[in-house]
A and B are shown apart, each in its own frame.
Chain A
Amino acid sequence: MSHSPTHRRLPGTLQFLLTTFLVVWLVMAAVPFLWTLWGSFKVEGDFFSKADWTNALTGELTIAETGGAFTGQGYYGAWVQEEFWRAVMNSAIVCFFVVTISLTCSTLAGYALSRSTYNYAFWLLIAALIFRAMPPITLVSGYLLPFFEWNLWGHLSTTIIVLVAINQPFSLWMMTSFFRNIPKDLDESAMVDGCNRFQAFRHVILPVMWPGVITTGLFSFLLAYNDFAVTALLLDKENQTMIPKIASFLGTTQTKGNVMFAVAAVISATAPLFVLIMFFQRQIVSGLTAGAVKG
């Protein structure tokens, strides 16, 4: 936006302060992950080093115990011994279905909400806002008893449907604000030409809605991938997803002295997100600001 560089130039001290601050922030944001990534290839004695913190970098005990400066013990323990791959598979299934079902529902509803001028559309959005504000765990306490009674508890499919529902309020807001930016004239002129609402949606809106769908899909994915409250309480030990699995590592392995399993699992669960931000940074940023621009 800045055409003339003159007023962009800051005085030296201010520029220096801002740069220093920025470097400090970047260190705070990135180093914890780099530190853990590096440490995940060490043994516990190095990752948690009472003797000397530099051991975590050089890996003295790792060399003493395994012969090399890096070891894959943590990853072997997590993936093979504790069968973390099962959790990864379950997470993949849950995420895939949550994203597809949730997007289908919220795209249709978001389109209708953006085109309706009646009061009830407003109230539906307000209700969604309230639902969005409720902690998921309050809903979970409502699910448990009926789900036990009706034998719905512990299935991946139940969890998927629950996550789709919890996801709806947020997706509705996002899709609605997105569809509002697509001019009404577009589908209305199609209807003048003889299309009905569904045909107009199918032939005119569908081809131009993908940027919004992708952005909303990303956030639905993040919600499903990151959820803990629902998956931890509604899933069996047998079909846990990644995040509750990591949390359960802490209970069982900290006592065994194998906290490194959890460290390796944490890095394994973070890697896909890392790639996700790399490819979809623009969409994530536009999604985060979508609600704000409207005010």
Chain B
Amino acid sequence: MKHGTFLTFVAPSLLAMILLIVFPVVSVIIQSFHAQHEQVIEMVESCGPFGCSETATINQEATEALREAEPLGRFVGFDNYVNRGHLAFAELGEAWRSSDTWGEWWTKVMNLPFYSAIVFTLTFTFIVTPLTIALGFAIAVAVNASVQKIRGPLIFISLLPFIINPIVGSLVLFWMVDARGILGQLIQWIAADPDLSVKASTPMMWIMLMVYGIWHSAPFAFVVFYAGLQTINQDTNEAAMIDGANRWQRVRYVTIPHIMPLVTFVALIQLMDNFRVFEPLISFSAEAHAQSLSTYILSDLTGETVLYNSAAATSMLTVICVGILLFPVLVRTWRDFKRA
């Protein structure tokens, strides 16, 4: 295809992506290096019965005017990145020096908002992704072993948790595990503790969020693996049988190698999706117990004073993390492309 024709065809799509994905990223980068103007302080001489003294007061009008005129604020370099809300190098060092045990140090680190967000996000990503793949594979095998006629309805029901809006899906689950909901009461009954509440306990909240994550994405893994199971070469399978392979060996040496590329695909999509975990934390009102990178940005943007610069710095760090996460995939795609 000629360059000119190509450009005409991709122009609308490319324009949309440049204007609303590339430019915002640039805007985020610029914002992350700025901070709001400080308040304008004026020295006012006030004279009273005991003589005159100079006091510092905030000139509200001047502050407003300055902030209005330059909404971007002043350039501060990497300050936003290293302050307490983000990488917090000073606090980390301080915690290191003042802690005697690893546990103590860890508690202090987890009190830093950025680190607690990234620890939750990574824990969520790396626990939910493999479990989703395992559950999805199990469902695929089970559906594949069922009678042909009922597979349509089975797939329909299995798709529900994935297609349903994440906010809605997690709300439905959250209402059920509420202390007064059916699952919440079941948990209380099992634990023999009538005051047990998911809302009040950090470990329970983390577990619930991950259970939701697996429940939500397992259907995706299932559909992909199920499609893969349909395309297994039956000749290979039969040849293996004739050669005396038992059921387990056939699964190990025929099915799994066939499914493996699909596992890589599902893992890639799941890593990307789980890393941006967002909606369940909103629905579960989990901010007291768990904060992900996405909800951390949201809380900066919707708080009483909107902290654009802090949100921008977190966004940049998040994008960098996504880059690191994707790097192996990009390298592999590049090699495949070169070879082709």
Mark A residues whose CB is within 8 Å of B. 1-4, 7-8, 10-11, 15, 18-19, 21-22, 25-26, 28-30, 32-33, 35-36, 39, 47-50, 53, 56, 104-106, 108-109, 111-113, 115-118, 121-122, 124, 126-146, 148-149, 161-162, 164-166, 168-169, 172, 197-198, 222, 225-226, 228-229, 233, 243, 246-247, 250, 259, 262-263, 266, 269-270, 273-274, 276-278, 281, 284-285, 288-289, 291-293, 295
Contacts and interface: CB of A to CB of B under 8 A. Distances in A.
Does more than half of chain A's interface fall in helix, strand or loop, or is it mixed? helix
Given A116-B6, A138-B319, A145-B72, A292 B168 contact: no
A144 B316 CA distance: 15
Given A165-B19, A277-B159, A289-B224, A141 B311 contact: yes
27 contacts: A25-B158, A26-B154, A29-B161, A104-B12, A105-B13, A108-B9, A109-B12, A115-B1, A133-B272, A137-B294, A140-B301, A141-B312, A142-B312, A143-B20, A165-B21, A166-B21, A168-B13, A168-B21, A197-B2, A228-B278, A229-B278, A243-B167, A243-B168, A247-B283, A266-B171, A269-B168, A281-B152
Nearest to A39: B175
Nearest to A164: B16
A274 B159 CA distance: 10
Given A145-B72, A165-B17, A243-B168, 7 more contacts: A7-B241, A25-B158, A28-B161, A126-B330, A145-B27, A233-B298, A266-B172
B288 interface: no
Given A3-B234, A7-B238, A226-B166, A132 B158 contact: no
A266 B306 CA distance: 29
Interface stretch (B78-86, B105-113, B138-146): B138-146
B122 interface: no
A137 B298 contact: yes
Contact of A168 (B16, B72, B247): B16
Most chain A beta-carbon neighbours within 10 Å: one of B168, B232, B282, B325:
B168
B282 A228 contact: yes
Given A19-B142, A124-B14, A166-B21, A142 B315 contact: yes
Nearest to A269: B168
A108 B12 contact: yes
B280 to A, nearest CB: 11
Interface in B234-281: 234, 237-238, 241, 247, 261-262, 265-266, 269, 272, 275-276, 278-279
A133 B26 CA distance: 17
